[in-house]
Amino acid sequence: MSFLPELTIAAALDGLAAKDFSALELTRAHISAIESLDPQLNAFITQTPELALEMAGAADAARAAGSAGPLSGIPLAIKDLFCVEGVRTTAASKILENFVPPYESTVTAQLKAAGAVFLGKANLDEFAMGSSNTTSGFGAVTNPWQRNGSNAKLVPGGSSGGSAAAVASRMAMGATGTDTGGSIRQPASFTGITGIKPTYGRCSRYGIVAFASSLDQAGPMARSVEDCAILLGAMSGFDARDSTSAERPVADFRAAAKRGVKGLRIGIPAEYRMDGMSAEIEGLWQKGVAWLREQGAEIVDVSLPHTKYGLPVYYIVAPAEASSNLARYDGVRFGTRVDGEDLIDMYERTRAAGFGAEVKRRIMIGTYVLSAGYYDAYYLKAQKIRALILRDFTEAFAKVDALLTPTAPSAAFGIGEKTDDPVTMYLNDVFTVPASLAGVPAMSVPAGLDAQGLPLGLQIIGRHFDEETVFAVGGALEKAAGFSALPAIRAGGAK
Amino acid sequence: MSLDTATVRRIAKLARIRVEEPEIATLQTELNAILGYVEQLNAVDVTGVEPLSGGAQMAMRLREDVVTDGGIADKILANAPDREGRFFAVPKVVE
Amino acid sequence: MAYSLQGATGAWEIVVGLEIHAQVVSESKLFSGASATYGGEPNAHVSFVDAGFPGMLPVINRECVAQAVRTGLGLKAHINLVSRFDRKNYFYADLPNGYQISQFAHPVVGTGVVEIELGDGTIKEIGITRLHLEQDAGKSMHDQHAAKSVIDLNRAGVALMEIVSEADIRSPEEAGAYLRKIRQIVRYLGTCDGNMEEGSMRADVNVSVRKTGEAYRTRCEIKNVNSVRFVMHAVEAEALRQIEVYESGGSVTQETRLYDPARGETRSMRSKEDAHDYRYFPEPDLLPLVLDEAWVAALKEKLPELPDEKRARFRDDYGITFYDAGVLVAEQATADFYEQVAKGRDAKLAANWVTGDFFAALNRSGNTIETSPISADGLGELLDLITDKTINGRIAKDVFEAMLETGDRARKIVADRGLTQVTDTGAIEAAVDAVIAANPDKVAEYKSGKDKLFGFFVGQVMKAMAGKSNPAIVNELMKAKLG
Ligand SMILES: [Mg+2]
Ligand SMILES: [Zn+2]
């Protein structure tokens, strides 16, 4: 029997079906991986081994009864932004340090119904605001990857950094993530795994702690395109409790991942070739182009002229929505309270103590851009440019079936680097934000290593609700790239 | 546009976040860096462009008028930092 | 003569606009499936959505939208087929999300107009600026505990219609008439129960004063006034205060005030001292509200007849006075009652009875139309007995009293008590003769020109016949006999 945590979800499902091992065995292997690795990585805020064993036992029973679900017995990490009934849910914020939701998010409810096993709640940037997982109120997450010949701690990316680190280090077979401006794709790229942000409206937002409502989308993170397809199949679908949820059938993503790219037109947007972009990333991008062409895709140069405005638009829209979404953390109905002289003093002390620096910054920027006299200059203007960004995509997708770009402008950086100036940190999301603003699906697939031995991802962007093409291109890239490098810190690994 | 310290205080007040005096200058610098960064949007001509407020392009569904929820006061109050019986409690407000 | 207030510097005109918050009649809340029922144990009608829990999302109630559209149609207002929700951001203990979902930039209903009638019978038009849908907040109570305010979220999330008027109102009377008219319309439509005691209707009153011909001066908003009488008082009290401020050389600052009914004055609200900056922006958890034109048309089709139209029809079809018609259409139930009584009968007689003895009886007994001991059918039967001359009008009043007392039908009372009118000319003639014979002196006076005594003779005959004689026959015979 192989080392269980190394299996892909697809392989584990086969093994479970063939009774090569049980869900309990698979889960125990992951629990012990967490026990040995998480003290180093801090990928989990809350571990739920008892719940996991209970769910695994139920999965084994279901399989024995012939009623196994599509994810029966698969151990997952759940980003601590998804409410799981009866399990502490913090959004990595001290303000929710002791919050136990009496309700379940739709995505996790669907995963439970599919038979998945929850290993715990994965760390993230506080309220998903960050690209490095260093803003968590529960400590930074360490990337399981290290530079060649160095054991300097690197960031896993963010905000779904705990999910990414858990999956990359084999503590979990897959994880849920959420992506507001790149929070699934950028950490996937930094940790050598695959992640997809589906179309806005594909996965229900019900029960997911909100950051920026018009951008937030849940999606899967796993070690293969096929595994992401399996997970997304279970996570997505219409939910009447989310007004922005799309009433559309869920396609067979797993089949789509094997479709190939023959005859597809793939666009290469000129504007993603940014000043100062490293030659390694440019080189990897060209490799990606070649791989797709070799497999029968037609490569087309396209233009998305408003790309460079995506990031500034995002840093107006997302904080504005966040400033409002986070107003509910006032110490009245749930969460941490710090007493004050009167109600207002209580609010101010509660929020000063409960929120970290980055969250406060964003709330303040958001408050400012919505305030009297500034709304038109900032928020309204940003919304109009957001419309232009969507128009860029619409026009490009009239010519091509998908776009290929790098996922991030760099590989993982060191914990503590890039923290002096918030704007430098924001630049991490330069390639991922436009798709978020337009609401289109986008995936990151590991495509190679940089000179220091760190993984780099390529991003595939598709049309609204055409995740199938994204999976098809992702599958083709994965096959051609043959990415097989392993992180330094991993279950069953050398360290 | 750049923020003066009075504006930083006013925003903090509006956002109900207590800011201690020594934090003001740092916040001012950081917020101005962000505002300086988004300044580049001024270069974009948006004449005649309709603003886009959401990621979804569809009309809103309407729910039927049926009572399907409520009657869960215990759960509603379970996480409350302070309560009086079946009420939430806060420091006394003078109107 | 236009209303004005006399100050030391001369006459002042008052300028008033109302924002009426009317609670929508619906089973469940605007954005959640919790019950919209008034009252209940604290926090019983609350879902996680209403309490603003992390990850909770609003989903709009179709019926609440329909109610807003019906109301808009009733206000003869423009229905916006595309509207949108915005967030109004502010912190308050009974506002769970830290924002209210409202409609700021694009309300569901645009401009309209209502007619109000004033005491002197004149009709005035008051413009409607807009009507929008929004959530109610919860309830803070400050007197339940020494050091704490306590919060009940039962009302949080219940649908409200905010009906905003133009600043067309120029007197306390007009303000009262306008509020009553809006209440009448929403009650007719069934879109709000208009119950001001329970807070299902309340008004924010914007008041300013000016000298004739001036542009508008600064206004103050008096929050949450909860009766017609208080609105009228508040308008006057606030106008007088502002006049005093101006006349003592001061200036009025725009602010939110509270009306204190016990003291009959308004005062500044401490809790709203913060400069308002609501940071409205489009609610990203919701999509644009797009109404189907056919759906709106179908709602319009099913709209009930509104009070103005009903009043005109009553006047025209039933030949009753415009005034009586107004009294009868004040409440839908009264109008229905009247129409049932009037159907196939003398409509004027029916109007007299309903607005006269019947209303008086309801008032006396503390009943409403709904709890009336006499049904429309029962009153109709009494009227039938008058019309077919079984009883005369005088006896009818006794029968009506007996109906109230016993609950019996009119026909039964008349039969049991032998109240049938006497139309036998012979019997009446005998009585007439007897009265003439018994009063020779009065007859002489009458004949010498004291015409007024005719009533005395008729009265004596009626009395002798226990009121049951047909008054027309008595008159006729008496006239003949007296010459
Ligand atoms: Mg108001
Ligand atoms: Zn309002």
Residues C405 and C429 in one domain: no
Residues C393 and C447 in one domain: no
The answer to which of A106-115, A424-433, B81-90, C103-112 has the lowest mean pLDDT is: A424-433
Which residue is associated with the tokens 């009247």? C338
Return all residues near B26 (Cβ < 8 A) that are at least 6 apart.
Answer: none
Residues C460 and C345 in one domain: no
Residues C349 and C441 in one domain: no
pLDDT greater than 90 at residue B28: yes
Contact A343 C93 (CB under 8 A): yes
Select the residue of C46, C151, C284 nearest B54 (Cβ to Cβ): C284
Burial category of A348 from C-beta neighbours within 10 Å (exposed 0-12, middle 13-18, buried 19 and up): buried
Tell me the three state secondary structure of residue A45: strand
User: Do A494 and A459 meet the contact criterion of CB atoms below 8 Å apart?
Assistant: no
Average pLDDT, chain B: 93
Predicted TM-score (pTM) above 0.90: yes
Considering chain A, what percentage of its residues have pLDDT values greater than 70?
99
User: Do A48 and A119 meet the contact criterion of CB atoms below 8 Å apart?
Assistant: yes
Residues C285 and C376 in one domain: no
Residues C287 and C312 in one domain: no
Q: What is the CATH number of domain A1-495?
A: 3.90.1300.10
Q: Report chain B residues touching chain C, CB-CB < 8 A.
A: 13-14, 16, 53-54, 56, 58-73, 75-77, 82, 84-95
For residues A31-59, one letter each, b for 16 or more C-beta atoms within 10 angstroms of the residue's C-beta and e for the rest, the string is bebbeebbeebbbbbbbbbebbbebbbbb
Residues C158 and C196 in one domain: yes
Q: Report chain A residues touching chain C, CB-CB < 8 A.
A: 82-83, 89, 91, 96, 99, 101-103, 105, 205-210, 212-214, 240-244, 320-321, 323-324, 326-328, 330, 332-334, 343-344, 347, 367, 370-372, 375, 379
Catalytic residue list of A: 79, 159, 183
- For residue A159, is the peptide bond before it cis, meaning its omega torsion is within 30 degrees of 0? yes
Select the residue of A337, A347, A367 nearest B11 (Cβ to Cβ): A367
- A243 Cα to chain B: minimum distance (Å): 7
What pLDDT, on a 0 to 100 scale, did the predictor assign at position C270? 63
Q: Which two tokens stand for residue A332?
A: 């009245």
Contact A205 C55 (CB under 8 A): yes
pLDDT single digits (tens) B4-20: 999 999 999 999 999 99
What pLDDT, on a 0 to 100 scale, did the predictor assign at position C281? 97
Nearest CA in chain A to B9: A364
What does each of the 483 residues of chain C score in pLDDT, given as a tens digit? Answer: 589 999 999 999 999 999 999 999 999 999 999 999 998 999 999 999 999 999 999 999 999 999 999 999 999 999 999 999 999 999 999 999 999 999 999 999 999 999 999 999 899 999 999 999 999 999 999 988 889 999 999 999 999 999 999 999 999 999 999 999 999 999 999 999 999 988 899 999 999 999 988 999 999 999 999 999 999 999 999 999 999 999 999 999 999 999 999 999 999 986 555 557 999 999 999 999 999 999 999 999 999 999 999 999 999 999 999 999 999 999 999 999 999 999 999 999 999 999 999 999 999 999 999 999 999 999 999 999 999 888 888 889 999 999 999 999 999 998 888 778 777 788 888 888 888 888 888 888 888 888 888 888 888 888 888 888 888 888 888 888 887
Instruction: Name which of A90, A343, A359 to mutate to probe chain C: the one with the most chain C Cβ atoms within 10 A of its Cβ.
Output: A343
- C77 Cα to chain A: minimum distance (Å): 28
Return all residues near C438 (Cβ < 8 A) that are at least 6 apart.
Answer: C460
Mind listing the domains of chain B with CATH numbers? 5-42 (1.10.20)
Tell me the three state secondary structure of residue B30: helix
Which residue is associated with the tokens 């109008």? C335
Give the distance (Å) from ligand 2 centre to CA of residue C161.
8
CB neighbours (10 Å) of residue C336? 15
What pLDDT, on a 0 to 100 scale, did the predictor assign at position C421? 76
Name the residue among A440, A465, A437 with its Cα closest to residue A247. Answer: A465
* Domain count across chain C: 3
Q: What is the mean pLDDT of residues A286-307?
A: 97
Residues C85 and C179 in one domain: yes
Q: How far is CA C235 from CA A95, A355, C5, C209, C259, in A?
A: 45, 45, 11, 10, 9
pLDDT greater than 60 at residue A1: no
Query: How many Å apart are CA C422 and CA C468, to the nearest integer?
Result: 6
What pLDDT, on a 0 to 100 scale, did the predictor assign at position A495? 43
Contact B61 C153 (CB under 8 A): no
Q: What are phi and psi of A15, to 5 degrees?
A: -60, -40
Residues C82 and C106 in one domain: yes
Contact A332 C98 (CB under 8 A): no
Query: How many Å apart are CA A83 and CA A91, to the nearest integer?
Result: 9
Residues C152 and C21 in one domain: yes
pLDDT greater than 50 at residue A296: yes
- A23 Cα to chain B: minimum distance (Å): 33
Q: Which of C365, C392, C417 is the last residue of a domain?
A: C417
What pLDDT, on a 0 to 100 scale, did the predictor assign at position A192? 98
What pLDDT, on a 0 to 100 scale, did the predictor assign at position C275? 58
CATH number of the domain that residue C477 is part of: 1.10.10.410
Question: Cα–chain-centroid distance for residue A223?
Answer: 13
Contact C53 A333 (CB under 8 A): yes
Range of the domain at C285: 5-298
Using an 8 Å CB-CB cutoff, list chain B residues near C44. Answer: 70-71, 73, 86
Select the residue of B65, B67, B73 nearest C43 (Cβ to Cβ): B73
pLDDT single digits (tens) A480-494: 999 999 999 999 875
pLDDT greater than 90 at residue B2: no
Residues C432 and C472 in one domain: yes
What pLDDT, on a 0 to 100 scale, did the predictor assign at position A355? 98
Contact C42 B87 (CB under 8 A): yes
Contact A206 C60 (CB under 8 A): no
- B6 Cα to chain C: minimum distance (Å): 15
Return all residues near A440 (Cβ < 8 A) that are at least 6 apart.
Answer: A199, A393, A461, A462, A463, A464
For CA atoms A323, C270, C49, A116, give the dihedral sign: positive
- Mutual orientation of helices C322-329 and C307-318 as an angle, nearest 10°? 130
**For the CA of C131, the nearest ligand:** 2
B25 touching A (Cβ < 8 Å): no
Amino acid identity, position B1 = M
Q: Which of C254, C275, C298 is the last residue of a domain?
A: C298
Name the residue among A129, A125, A270, A201 with its Cα closest to residue A441. Answer: A201
The answer to which of A193-202, A390-399, C255-264, C444-453 has the lowest mean pLDDT is: C444-453
Using an 8 Å CB-CB cutoff, list chain C residues near B69. Answer: 28, 32-34, 47, 49
Contact C48 B76 (CB under 8 A): yes
What pLDDT, on a 0 to 100 scale, did the predictor assign at position A480? 98
Q: What is the 3-state secondary structure (H, E, C) of chain C?
A: CCCCEEECCEEEEEEEEEEEEEECCCCECCCCCEECCCCCCCCCCCCCCCCCCCCCCCCCEHHHHHHHHHHHHHCCCCECCEECCEEEECCCCCCCCCEEEECCCCCCECCEEEEEECCCCCEEEEEEEEEEEEECCCEEECCCCCCEEEEECCCCCCEEEEEEECCCECCHHHHHHHHHHHHHHHHHHCCCCCCCCCCCEEEEEEEEEECCCCCCCCCEEEEEECCHHHHHHHHHHHHHHHHHHHHCCCCCCCCEEEEECCCCEEEECHHHCCCCCCCCEECCCCCCEECCHHHHHHHHHCCCCCHHHHHHHHHHHHCCCHHHHHHHHCCHHHHHHHHHHHCCCCHHHHHHHHHHHHHHHHHHHCCCCCCCCCCHHHHHHHHHHHHCCCCCHHHHHHHHHHHHHHCCCHHHHHHHCCCCCECCHHHHHHHHHHHHHHCHHHHHHHHCCCCCHHHHHHHHHHHHCCCCECHHHHHHHHHHHHC
Residues C76 and C207 in one domain: yes
Return the number of CB contacts < 8 Å for A and C.
Answer: 98
